[in-house]
Amino acid sequence: MNREKILFVDDDANLLDSYRRQLRKKFRLTTAQGGPEALEQLDKNGTFAVVVSDMRMPGMDGIQVLTEVRKRSPDSVRMMLTGNADLQTAIDAVNAGSVFRFLTKPCSPDNMSQALEEGLRQYQLIHAEKELLEKTLHGSVFVLSEILSLVNPTAFSRSNRIKAYAKHIASRLNLSDIWKFEVAAMLSQIGCVTLPPIILNKIYCRRELSFTENKMFSNHPKVGCKLLANIPRMEQIAKMIEGQQIPYKEHPPLDSLTPEDIISTIGAQILKVALEFDQLVIRAVSPEVALNVLRKRRDEYNPKILDTMKNFTGDQVEVEVKEITVKELEIGMVMDAHVKSKKGTLLVPAGHEVTFPVLERIRNFAHGGMGVREPIRVRVPMQELFKT
């Protein structure tokens, strides 16, 4: 028996019983007598691989049912079953519900079984392609962020903090595809690979930039957008990054935008709040004071996004500060102080998490003749200290 779930929807209880008897040994079936019960099944049992709905039903017809299924469970393969096979019904079903198969009554058990098998294969293909794309995308993001951690550790450290803010905001706003906002945050500083480190150090220390330096820094979102725009499924994320410095008042009204541009605009507004909030917090300003400062700049930030930061607490993990040698350094530790070479070159800034490339960078400096100042101060979660 195939373990993927299939939902049959019909107002005829006898017909549903008939399909249950004929197909239960081969498929994992659930039935619903009418549209409202079908939607209850979706809410209760989650995604169904295939949903087969009758067309003519009182209260809620098949097109309405499958249209709602499409909204709630977009990956479900949808099929229409009807005894009134007119052309307009077929057109409406395909356009509104994105129907995969259009079946006519009476439908023999063999024909129904074949249609369900084809529907299950389509569902598996959708998931296989989605999984491949997501793994490819996540792999690309990981490589890009690791490169950033080596080329510009200061920018990388900031992007890790921004990710936490973006995830919090998107969750509080009940946005779908939160991963897009997390990825945009992680890569929001990717354009900084073209900047001299001294510019970022000035930015984070609130030191004044020269005209040329300010122009270079202001251009980094566009550079980041160009770097990402050609990666599949990264178009929206690239636009979020491009708009991260645009004031709230300069964005067009959301009701004038396409659904895709709405997501990109909201993402850009999230990044602006997260970046400015972080800039205040890293200067030892409390989150409450930081939020009050941002609220006073009414034209700069989306007020609904600012409201989500009222209850931001971050990850409250008890840590222990240790002084260790390069040999004892491990992936996942967080720097409690700057790591410098013996000649004073900044290798990794405070607050930076140790990743594989960062660890290799420090080891190469330690053993390549330049040396690393020891001991190194790191923060380690308390639970890690008691592992055996």
Classify 93 in phi/psi space as left (phi over 0), alpha (psi -120 to 50) or beta. Answer: alpha
pLDDT at 166 over 80: yes
Percentage of the chain lying above the pLDDT 70 cut: 88
- Strand, coil or helix: 378: strand
- State which H helix or E strand residue 154 sits in: helix 153-172
Cβ neighbours for 180, distance < 8 A, ≥ 6 positions apart: 236, 237, 240, 263, 267
Q: How far is the C-alpha of 19 from the C-alpha of 290, rounded, in Å?
A: 62
Which residues, listed in sequence order, are joined to residue 79 by a DSSP beta bridge?
Answer: 52, 101
The average pLDDT across 137-160 equals: 72
Domains of the chain with bracketed CATH: 5-127 (3.40.50.2300), 152-315 (1.10.3210.10), 317-388 (3.90.105)
pLDDT at 325 exceeding the cut of 80: yes
**Strand order of the sheet with strand 101-104?**
28-32, 5-9, 50-54, 77-82, 101-104
Model confidence at 317, pLDDT cuts 50, 70, 90, reads very low
- The SS3 call for residue 136 is helix
Residue 53 parent element (H or E): strand 50-54
What is the reported pLDDT for 388?
A: 40
Burial class (CB in 10 A: 0-12, 13-18, 19+), 27: buried
Contact 349, 156 (CB under 8 A): no
C-alpha to C-alpha distance for 270 and 171, rounded to whole angstroms: 12
Is pLDDT larger for residue 146 or for residue 25? 25
| pLDDT score of 314 | 57
Q: Give the residue with greater pLDDT, 39 vs 128.
A: 39
The distance in angstroms from the start CA to the end CA of the chain is: 45
Q: How confident is the model over 297-316, as pLDDT tens digits?
A: 989 999 999 999 987 865 54
Q: pLDDT tens for residues 53-81?
A: 998 899 898 889 998 998 888 889 999 88
Residue 204 has pLDDT above 80, yes or no: no
Question: pLDDT band at residue 50, thresholds of 50, 70 and 90?
Answer: very high
Top-confidence residue, 320 or 322: 322
